[in-house]
Amino acid sequence: MLSQKTIDIVKSTAPILETHGVEITTYFYKTLFEAHPELLNVFNHANQSQGRQQTALANTVYAAAMYIDQLEVLLPTVKQIAQKHRSLTVKPEHYPIVGEYLLKAIKGVLGDAATDEIIGAWGEAYGVIAQVFIDIEKEMYAEAAEKSGGWEDFKEFIVEKKVTESSLITSFYLKAKDGVPVPWYLPGQYITIRLSIPGHQYLLNRQYSLSQTPGSDCFRISVKREADYNPQGKVSNYLHDRLNVGDTIEVSPPAGDFYLEKEEQPVALISGGVGITPMMAMLGSIAENEPNRKTVFIHAARNKDAHAFGKEAAALVEKLNDGKMYIAYEAKKDESEVCDITGYVSQAFLQQVVDPNSVCYVCGPVPFMRAVVSHLTALGFSENNVKYEFFGPALALEA
């Protein structure tokens, strides 16, 4: 247990960490990877280059400082991060390494302001926080391994089928190389794939939502080719261009805390772009297990060419006794493209088609989620009834 003096020191430094958080975490990752390049296998290099990982860690460190005497407040966030850690096989032996370089980063950025007393207090606090993660992740590893068909870390899977879903998205059907059927997962969860790409010294990993109803003998992931920004997605482009039927990749067990919950209340599945992937698993699960549940499926795409799973989603909605599907295209290429909205999903439209008693699941690019969550909040939906998923490190939705 931390002393009151340690708690006071850590909380008093929170404003400093809020101001210098990204600078500290950027320093941290740089020095960590220089000393331990093997840990590059664990991190998403694109998130590093875009600054997303640094920002997410800075937010977490700041929150830890603010609530060091009330860590139970952070438990939902801790569990979300722990899901990511488990899927990436972060282990207890990694935590002392991270702690060492985080403290060095605080000292390196703050200089003389980071006194021995402050560094000592943060060292104690980090030990407590790290143990919380270690304990939760131990339970998650055991749960993944003990499931029927489950395992603990990574194992080999073979690409059984590769299907083009749109101009941007391709699906990969993955079967375990040992022939064991895949474990049951919750609709909306993801897996981590790990592979070696020619020209890269270290293994690369990425997390992709499972895009079909649980219960199959294989996994399906549906990957968007990331080509809009520099650097372009190394893994997504490799998967699209180079990974073929019969090839082998490594996969960790399903993880994630964004998933469909079986409830009496109506449900709205609202997605943008590749955010449709977890929604397909959710929609399929509703069609199979809860066909009487009132459901609205809303999807926004750039245009018809970029619209994935159109026929599959429509077929699933047809199985529902009270289901509606609405499609939004940012811009039509021509008048032959049929959709319900041209432009963006508006607050007025959501008010018109979403039952006010619904639980809403939202997934897509951050600007899309920011807009939709803002609209739903303005319409009176409670925080508990608006659930959303980030692809990559979680960032604040506030502008």
Q: List active site positions.
A: 95, 137
Q: Is 265 annotated as a binding residue?
A: no
Q: Is 351 annotated as a binding residue?
A: no
Instruction: Determine how many CB atoms are found less than 10 A away from the CB of residue 336.
Output: 7
Q: Is 258 annotated as a binding residue?
A: no
Q: What are phi and psi of 240, to 5 degrees?
A: -65, -45
Q: What are the strands, taking DSSP E only, across 210-366? A: 219-224, 248-251, 267-272, 295-301, 323-329, 341-342, 359-363
Q: Is 190 annotated as a binding residue?
A: yes
Q: Is 388 annotated as a binding residue?
A: no
171, 163 contact by CB (below 8 A): yes
Q: Is 307 annotated as a binding residue?
A: no
Q: Is 373 annotated as a binding residue?
A: no
What's the Rg (C-alpha) of the chain?
22
Q: Is 215 annotated as a binding residue?
A: no
Q: Is 209 annotated as a binding residue?
A: yes
User: What burial class does residue 46 get, using C-beta atoms within 10 Å of its C-beta: 0-12 exposed, 13-18 middle, 19+ buried?
Assistant: buried
DSSP string, 9-59: HHHHTHHHHHHHHHHHHHHHHHHHHHH-GGGGGTS-HHHHHTTHHHHHHHH
Q: Is 336 annotated as a binding residue?
A: no
Q: Is 276 annotated as a binding residue?
A: yes
205 φψ region: left (φ > 0), alpha (ψ -120 to 50), beta (else): beta
Q: Is 85 annotated as a binding residue?
A: yes
Q: Is 278 annotated as a binding residue?
A: yes
What is the C-alpha separation between 278 and 261, in angstroms, rounded? 13
Q: Is 43 annotated as a binding residue?
A: no
206, 281 contact by CB (below 8 A): no
* Closest C-alpha to 196, from 16, 40, 381, 392: 40
Q: Is 206 annotated as a binding residue?
A: yes
* Closest C-alpha to 348, from 328, 366, 331: 328
Where is the binding site for FAD, in residues? Answer: 190, 206-209, 390-393
- Tell me the binding residues for heme b: 85
Question: Which residue ranges are tagged as binding site?
Answer: 85, 190, 206-209, 273-278, 390-393
Positions at the binding site for NADP(+): 273-278
